[in-house]
Amino acid sequence: MEEQFCIRQSEFVTSAGVEGRYPAPLPCEIAIVGKSNIGKSSLINRICGNQKLCRTSATPGKTRLVNFFLLNRAFYLVDLPGYGFAKASKAEQKSWGELLERYLSSGRVKHLLMLIDIRHEPTQDDLQMFRYLIYYGIPYTLVATKSDKIAKSKRKVDANLRAKQLGAPPFAIPFSSETGEGKTELTARIGQIVRDCTDIRKETTEE
């Protein structure tokens, strides 16, 4: 039987702004997108088992950088700046767009984890983000966050409903950084992505 994938080790590598340098690429890089305050940083901390790895915030729109974390000394997990913070100025929104576009068009990212709120219908910004990742042709997994905020019996159904409302096939992983619900499923998914990246590399380097 195949050994179960787990995240044993995690460290912060660097942050990059609009003109900042990205670290030397690895075969696998997974990035997290979602609106501001959706739980990106909390999710990273939860799946890495380190509450202090990534700064979380009760005030939306604080992360304005692309943050790189190295996991298992093997692949990057990238925390992208959140979108849709209502109070952001036009200039801030423009700089966010540039930051994201530069990152997504760099060709580094192999897979996106897109976070959506399990409680609410996707926002216009969510829909736009989803169109954007389809446009870029980036493989993705949808994660429905804050599942602890709704009744247990509704979680699976509502997570899938949010995916459907986004225009995606009706599947999202219900996840809670508070309780750890969905951690096993999401970690297994990440393991699969990491393996796929490495396998593809093997295939292309073999004669």
Ligand X SMILES: Nc1nc2c(ncn2[C@@H]2O[C@H](COP(=O)(O)OP(=O)(O)O)[C@@H](O)[C@H]2O)c(=O)[nH]1
Query: CB atoms < 10 A from the CB of 93, how many?
Result: 13
**Which option in Mg ion, ligand X, none does residue 37 bind, with CB closer than 5 to 8 A by kind?**
ligand X
Q: Is 186 in the site for ligand X (CB under 6 A)?
A: no
Q: Is 51 in the site for ligand X (CB under 6 A)?
A: no
Among 16, 29, 41, 141, contact with ligand X (rule: CB under 6 A): 41
The residue (of 182 and 189) whose beta carbon lies closer to ligand X is: 182
Q: Is 149 in the site for ligand X (CB under 6 A)?
A: yes
Residue whose entry in the numeric block shows the structure tokens 């729109």: 61
Q: Is 10 in the site for Mg ion (CB under 5 A)?
A: no
Q: Is 68 exposed, middle or buried (0-12, 13-18, 19+ CB in 10 A)?
A: buried
Among 10, 141, 145, 160, contact with ligand X (rule: CB under 6 A): 145
Q: Is 63 in the site for Mg ion (CB under 5 A)?
A: yes
Among 7, 28, 29, 40, contact with ligand X (rule: CB under 6 A): 40
137: left (phi over 0), alpha (psi -120 to 50) or beta: left
**In this structure, what token pair is assigned to residue 15?**
């942050």
- Find the shortest distance in angstroms from Cβ 85 to Mg ion: 11
- Find the shortest distance in angstroms from Cβ 119 to ligand X: 10
CA distances from residue 138 to 50, 56, 128, 131, 177 in whole angstroms, order as listed: 28, 26, 14, 11, 25
Query: CB atoms < 10 A from the CB of 188, how many?
Result: 14
Among 41, 141, 145, 177, contact with Mg ion (rule: CB under 5 A): 41
Residue whose entry in the numeric block shows the structure tokens 């590399």: 201
The residue (of 15 and 57) whose beta carbon lies closer to ligand X is: 57
Residues contacting residue 3 through CB under 8 Å, at least 6 positions apart: none
Among 47, 69, 82, 110, contact with ligand X (rule: CB under 6 A): 82
**In this structure, what token pair is assigned to residue 9?**
């080790």
What is the binding site for ligand X (CB under 6 A)? 34, 36-42, 56-58, 82, 145-146, 148-149, 176-178
